[in-house]
Structure 1
């Protein structure tokens, strides 16, 4: 970090605007780890850049205070008074530019990083938000346990209790119904006398048998699963049955915990982002492949950042809106 002095007013104003732009980008819901790395590099250029970053944070807090402050009852009454004339300096105009930028980005600062649901998710019969769980009782004693950020709909016409997994992850149990079905994408999975975990990430679906027997049908092909076996499919095909799934790790979320066993850091961050509001960025590519093992409580995931600082020597930058940058 350089310690150059003698920055001009226009350079300092530009840095503050750049700081706002970086914060705005990280809060936009469209930022990538590369954007986070660019922010870290920008912030570390000089002490002036660091101060510009802190000024951007102060502006953010000011905007947040104004957004949440209740309107005065007399705010719509215009006082009868002449405007005060003042000498408008160059620094005043620069300050006005910064304030205008803050006002222009207030909406993005105020929104969360949890993007609006898709039309299908918005019309779901049941949905969960970040870090939430929900158990839904189905006909005949069957049930479905919804993990974080999950949307399902009730499915009719299969002759048994059935749901459609629109997005997210769920455990379907047949219960007294003996059979229950889950539709996800182009596949239909039926469990007999047991339960299975289903996870849908975009167009890819993973079905893992936890107990009993599961039959997965996809475009005329069928896969039979027993306990600890899984199969994956998407719109282009269905894979082979793979044994040896770790049910304890897979379903730890049902007890409010996350278990990582030699998981690459980029996958750990992706999982934390599923359960946590805001966004975690991995700005150091060297960290992406480092393996991590540990158990964390879903309702205390920020403990991970403290442990990452102490045990792994990771730099943790906490920003407004639950944004965290790891570098």
Structure 2
């Protein structure tokens, strides 16, 4: 089943009645209230919320700093947020004792957040006026299951086709179009809008485009960007590259940006037609993609085996046959146990 979830369903998300700034402030307050109680899944959701838009982190950190100031006041002196603000204005910072910190439960945190929110409002955050990013059009997360390919129409008229086991965060306002590919693969058909560049990030890689068609593949240790039409700018740390139609680049956190190489534009979305085509690709990348099409699990044993290079094309319709073909092609052995497959060096290959 296709998953399309509102990441922010736990707070007020009536986008028709709540301004973008107000909505983000509500969400930031929500996360501050529960930040010491998050389970693993909630921590992932919180990190996703932070990275989807710089304004999220800016407002959250602003409230967090205000909360820190409030928490340093001797809470026994007042239960009135307005009095706390006055006290903050008229006193130096006071370190809270250990027992006060231990008593920092949900009720106290609600009180402190309320006080910090009032602090921001009354002090104007020390003269800093936050920028309003304009009304939010869409904030969503799209997710596909194993072996599922799904196309989604975005609020700006663009479209994205997600490959199997993929996850994409989307934030679209009247001023910005920001997307985060968290896993898997996506093919983007972008509506041109010079006033709102379309930015897709994945890992530490940023891809900026005005109007084009391109593919982003999340590999175990790198991101592959291939352009079918138009041009995109790829950024990794302080390195930049521009790609035209029919060009591909690999962005690796350790190795940086690869050389731009040529690719047949008609092959860029091969996976949408059930074909996987590789040119000198490491086995680890191929297996990672195959696992997104397979309900079981494929495991490669040995780092040297993971780095074996492959140039071939495979059908996604019969993954077990692909595994056997890879084993024969690379002189590997395969072992099957239920839906789990192991690819290992052949026992006949002796190592010193």
TM-score, normalization by structure 2: 0.48
Give the 3 Å change call, closer, same or farther, for CA 265–159 of structure 1 in structure 2.
same
Contact 1:258 1:298 in 2 (8 A): yes
Distance in 2 separating the partners of 1:289 and 1:233: 17
Q: How far did residue 221 of structure 1 move? A: 5.7
Q: How far did residue 243 of structure 1 move? A: 2.7
Secondary structure of the 1:193 match is coil
Secondary structure of the 1:166 match is strand
Q: How far did residue 196 of structure 1 move? A: 1.2
1:2-41 correspondence runs (5 A): none
Note if 1:128 corresponds to 2:53. no
1:235-274 correspondence runs (5 A): 239=257, 242-261=260-279, 263=281, 265-274=283-292
Contact 1:185 1:234 in 2 (8 A): no
Secondary structure of the 1:131 match is coil
Contact 2:159 2:189 in 1 (8 A): yes
1:23-172 correspondence runs (5 A): 119-120=44-45, 125-157=141-173, 159-172=175-188
Give the 3 Å change call, closer, same or farther, for CA 225–266 of structure 1 in structure 2.
closer
Contact 2:207 2:234 in 1 (8 A): yes
Match of 2:340 in 1: 323
Post-superposition CA distance 1:108-139 (Å, at most 9, x none): xxxxxxxx998249987111122211111013
Secondary structure of the 2:272 match is helix
Give the 3 Å change call, closer, same or farther, for CA 290–155 of structure 1 in structure 2.
closer
Contact 1:231 1:238 in 2 (8 A): no
Secondary structure of the 1:181 match is strand
Distance in 2 separating the partners of 1:238 and 1:262: 18
Contact 1:130 1:277 in 2 (8 A): yes
Distance in 1 separating the partners of 2:228 and 2:42: 29
Contact 1:225 1:241 in 2 (8 A): no
Distance in 2 separating the partners of 1:166 and 1:303: 29
Give the 3 Å change call, closer, same or farther, for CA 118–301 of structure 1 in structure 2.
farther
Secondary structure of the 2:261 match is coil
**Unaligned stretches of 5+ in structure 2?**
1-40, 50-139, 345-352
Secondary structure of the 2:260 match is coil
Number of equivalenced pairs: 211
TM-score, normalization by structure 1: 0.51
**Unaligned stretches of 5+ in structure 1?**
1-115
Q: How far did residue 212 of structure 1 move? A: 0.4
Match of 1:174 in 2: 190
Q: How far did residue 202 of structure 1 move? A: 5.8
Distance in 2 separating the partners of 1:203 and 1:263: 12
Contact 1:142 1:180 in 2 (8 A): no
Contact 1:138 1:161 in 2 (8 A): no
Match of 1:195 in 2: 213
Match of 1:296 in 2: 314
Give the 3 Å change call, closer, same or farther, for CA 323–192 of structure 1 in structure 2.
same
Q: How far did residue 141 of structure 1 move? A: 2.3
